[in-house]
């Protein structure tokens, strides 16, 4: 008598691909495999999720369905609470083992995973989890982390076994037309505005094609053109949403970058041009992806709490809803801030420097607590990645205690990154009549100049809602006051011990010699720190 083939379920989460998918390969090696995705309505109601995320996720699910079909399998999509779906499948399949990737997500996904673990234990089901990034579970501090990251990236990519048994089960009928409930929250401030068709094209393009184009064509001036929102659109890789939904594996991406770096070295200088610097900068960013996610993995409470307790109580009672609304809508009276916000609403993406400026403006100029702004941006970003997002938002809000406090001057950024004002004119058309100088500070225009430009400040476009110089001075005083003293030093040493990058502190192997200041990743590799950003 032949032995029955055991059942396995690969639970797809944010790893919507067949290429380099360790959980899928192991499930196939184990037995007859059901490929499962569960649409969890409660997840899509969370404050950090939006309908535009679902739209992109659905696109990747349909792509995954095709990839599995080419391998002779299929995708089972069910709508419901995860443990309820597992109970259904248990009744339909009998015993199975569950395979999935580790997830560094929000408190909600963590609690959901805990419920799945409890369900598995009480039903005698083994659940196998695999790492998919350079994020290390259960790490106490950062000693040796960079080495672990490299080791993970050097591993061979996961290969599908030659013999595969599939066991597709019926999906929830019409799952493709499922939509999250539209809440009032989503409709406020344009978070649900439909995306520009061209923006969708970029996000929905095949990950491998985007990568190839970047590594061989677009990326040559990456390090030189990443800071301006004009040039960043093509100079940056635009791979973040693919990494967030897992349609591209980080290991494949890092290995492709290494290969290209090797190939570029052999080129004659006339063809090598700026490629080595561009690729080295890009490689650094791939490292940061996991570096920032590791922070949330090691301390999940960072989704709710300041990195450093010294900043507790600093902004909590100062939330000004009118200022928040103006920032969300791109109506602060600072043209470049407003142009960036409106660009983000329309495109679901903006470059790093402009994300940092938007948060800096909300946290320092408007003195808003980072939590509300983080949720709003998360809903707008198609590449929303919980670990990177909260770590970055806090870093740009001055609450980590280990990073340089960087308060972006919105007018200086405007003149540096959009010198002729074309980006502003495109995204804040009210200002299109102003010349290249006044477009950055239209409130300085005389009444006659405003009339000539067809835009009266305060009527057609708002006057600045705060004075940047005054707001920045106040913010700086507040943050630095909390950095002084023995208690702050001890607390920031603790934060550094747990989360700080060791990369730029090579000699800091003994606890005494470490400095509680993390090298500032966004400027270290590429841009010289400037006193006035
Ligand atoms: C306030 C704030 C919030 C952010 N939230 C997110 C987020 O939710 N999801 C997200 O993927 N990135 C986030 N970032 C980081 C960064 O802005 C984006 O990764 C980048 O702009 C994505 O575009 P790209 O893929 O073209 O990046 P590229 O410049 O081409 O970089 C390649 C990849 O490296 C990683 N990377 C690049 N810069 C950073 C960085 N500073 N920190 C961590 N990883 C980085 C990303 O995975 C990115 O896809 C945030 C930055 C800030 C300041």
Exposed/middle/buried for residue 201 (C-beta within 10 Å: 0-12, 13-18, 19+): exposed
| CATH code reported for the domain at 7-132 | 3.40.50.620
From the CA of 232, give the closest atom in ligand 1.
26
Q: How far is CA 93 from CA 96, 167, 350, 416, in A?
A: 7, 9, 45, 61
The pLDDT assigned to 524 comes to 31
The pLDDT assigned to 1 comes to 62
Q: Is-same-fold flag (7-132; 303-523)?
A: no
Residue 516 has pLDDT above 70, yes or no: no
Residues 479-495 have a mean pLDDT of 95
Is residue 238 in contact with ligand 1, taking CB distance under 6 Å? Answer: yes
C-alpha R_g of the chain = 24
Residue 38, CB half-sphere, CA atoms under 13 Å: how many?
23
Would you say 401 and 311 are in contact if contact means Cβ atoms under 8 Å apart?
A: yes
Digit-coded pLDDT (tens) for 455-468? 999 999 999 999 99
Q: How far is CA 515 from CA 358, 390, 395, 484, in A?
A: 29, 23, 17, 15
Determine the distance separating the centroid of ligand 1 and the alpha carbon of 16, expressed in angstroms: 19
**Tokens linked to 2:** 């032949």
From the CA of 350, give the closest atom in ligand 1.
21
Is residue 113 in contact with ligand 1, taking CB distance under 6 Å? Answer: no
Separation CA 391–CA 57 (nearest Å): 23
Is residue 352 in contact with ligand 1, taking CB distance under 6 Å? Answer: yes
Closest-CA residue, ligand 1 atom 15, reads 352
Global pTM value = 0.94
Is residue 264 in contact with ligand 1, taking CB distance under 6 Å? Answer: no
Alpha-carbon dihedral of residues 122, 123, 129, 135, nearest 10 degrees? -20
Is residue 53 in contact with ligand 1, taking CB distance under 6 Å? Answer: no
Digit-coded pLDDT (tens) for 392-409? 999 999 999 999 999 999
Would you say 14 and 39 are in contact if contact means Cβ atoms under 8 Å apart?
A: no
From the CA of 285, give the closest atom in ligand 1.
34
Residue 182 has pLDDT above 80, yes or no: no
**Among 352, 368, 499, 522, residue to substitute to test ligand 1 (most atoms within 8 Å of Cβ):** 352
Is residue 48 in contact with ligand 1, taking CB distance under 6 Å? Answer: no
Q: Where are the domains of the chain?
A: 7-132, 187-300, 303-523
DSSP label at 303?
A: G
Non-local (6+) Cβ contacts of 336 within 8 A are 357, 410, 411, 413, 414, 417, 418, 423, 424, 440
Is residue 233 in contact with ligand 1, taking CB distance under 6 Å? Answer: no
Residue 526 has pLDDT above 50, yes or no: no
Digit-coded pLDDT (tens) for 100-144? 999 999 999 999 999 999 999 999 999 999 999 999 999 888 889
From the CA of 289, give the closest atom in ligand 1.
44
Residues 260-281 have a mean pLDDT of 98
Residue 514 has pLDDT above 50, yes or no: no
Determine the distance separating the centroid of ligand 1 and the alpha carbon of 20, expressed in angstroms: 22
Q: How confident is the model at residue 450 (pLDDT cuts 50, 70, 90)?
A: very high
The pLDDT assigned to 181 comes to 81
| CATH code reported for the domain at 303-523 | 1.10.579.10
The pLDDT assigned to 481 comes to 96
The pLDDT assigned to 531 comes to 41
Cα 42 vs. chain centroid, distance in angstroms? 21
Digit-coded pLDDT (tens) for 35-65? 999 999 999 999 999 889 999 999 999 999 9
Q: In the chain, what's the furthest Cα-to-Cα distance?
A: 94
Digit-coded pLDDT (tens) for 139-176? 888 889 999 999 999 999 999 999 999 999 999 999 99
Closest-CA residue, ligand 1 atom 8, reads 384
Q: How confident is the model at residue 192 (pLDDT cuts 50, 70, 90)?
A: low
Is residue 355 in contact with ligand 1, taking CB distance under 6 Å? Answer: yes
Would you say 278 and 219 are in contact if contact means Cβ atoms under 8 Å apart?
A: yes
The mean pLDDT value of the chain amounts to 92
Separation CA 399–CA 231 (nearest Å): 30
Residues 73-93 have a mean pLDDT of 98
Exposed/middle/buried for residue 261 (C-beta within 10 Å: 0-12, 13-18, 19+): middle
Residues 261-273 have a mean pLDDT of 97
Is residue 285 in contact with ligand 1, taking CB distance under 6 Å? Answer: yes
């Amino acid at each position: 008598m032949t032995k029955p083939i055991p059942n396995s379920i690969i639970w797809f989460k944010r790893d919507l691909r067949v290429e380099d998918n360790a959980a899928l390969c192991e499930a196939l090696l184990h037995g007859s495999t059901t490929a499962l995705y569960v649409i969890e309505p409660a997840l899509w109601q969370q404050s950090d999720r939006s309908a535009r995320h679902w739209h992109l996720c659905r696109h990747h699910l349909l792509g995954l369905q095709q990839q599995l079909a080419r391998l002779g399998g299929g995708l089972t999509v069910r709508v419901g609470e995860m443990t309820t779906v597992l109970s259904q499948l248990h009744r339909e399949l009998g015993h199975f083992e569950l395979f999935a990737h580790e997830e560094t997500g929000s408190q909600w996904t963590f609690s959901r995973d805990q419920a799945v673990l409890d369900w598995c234990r009480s039903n005698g089901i083994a659940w196998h989890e695999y790492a998919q990034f350079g994020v290390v579970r259960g790490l106490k501090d950062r000693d040796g982390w960079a080495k672990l990251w490299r080791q993970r990236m050097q591993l061979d990519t996961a290969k599908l076994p030659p013999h595969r048994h599939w066991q597709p089960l019926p999906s929830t009928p019409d799952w493709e037309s499922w939509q999250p409930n539209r809440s009032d929250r989503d409709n406020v401030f344009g978070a649900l505005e439909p995306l520009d068709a061209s923006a969708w094209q970029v996000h929905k393009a095949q990950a491998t094609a985007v990568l190839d184009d970047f590594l061989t064509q677009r990326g040559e001036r990456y390090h030189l053109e990443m800071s301006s929102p004009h040039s960043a659109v093509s100079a940056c890789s635009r791979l973040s949403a693919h990494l967030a939904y897992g349609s591209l594996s980080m290991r494949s991406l890092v290995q492709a970058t290494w290969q290209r770096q090797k190939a570029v070295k052999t080129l004659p200088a006339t063809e090598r041009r700026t490629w080595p610097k561009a690729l080295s900068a890009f490689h650094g960013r791939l490292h940061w992806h996991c570096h920032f996610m590791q922070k949330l993995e090691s301390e999940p409470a960072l989704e709710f709490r300041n990195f450093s307790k010294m900043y507790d109580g600093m902004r909590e009672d100062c939330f000004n809803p009118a200022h928040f609304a103006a920032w969300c809508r791109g109506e602060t009276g600072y043209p470049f801030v407003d142009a960036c916000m409106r660009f983000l609403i329309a495109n679901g993406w903006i470059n790093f420097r402009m994300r940092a400026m938007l948060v800096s403006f909300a946290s320092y100029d408007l003195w808003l607590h980072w939590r509300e702004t983080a949720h709003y941006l998360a809903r707008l970003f198609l590449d929303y990645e919980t670990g990177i997002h909260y770590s970055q938002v806090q870093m740009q809000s001055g609450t980590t205690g280990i990073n340089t406090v960087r308060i972006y001057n919105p007018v200086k950024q405007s003149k540096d990154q959009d010198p002729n004002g074309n980006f502003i004119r495109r995204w804040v058309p009210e200002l299109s009549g102003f010349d290249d100088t006044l477009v950055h500070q239209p409130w300085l225009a005389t009444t006659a100049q405003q009339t000539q430009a067809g835009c009266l400040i305060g009527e057609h476009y708002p006057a600045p809602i705060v004075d940047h110089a005054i707001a920045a001075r106040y913010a700086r005083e507040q943050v630095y006051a909390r950095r002084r003293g023995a208690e702050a030093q001890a607390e920031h040493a603790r934060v550094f011990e747990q989360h700080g990058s060791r990369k730029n502190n090579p000699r800091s192997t003994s606890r005494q010699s470490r400095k509680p200041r993390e090298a500032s990743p966004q400027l270290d590799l590429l841009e010289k720190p400037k006193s006035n950003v």
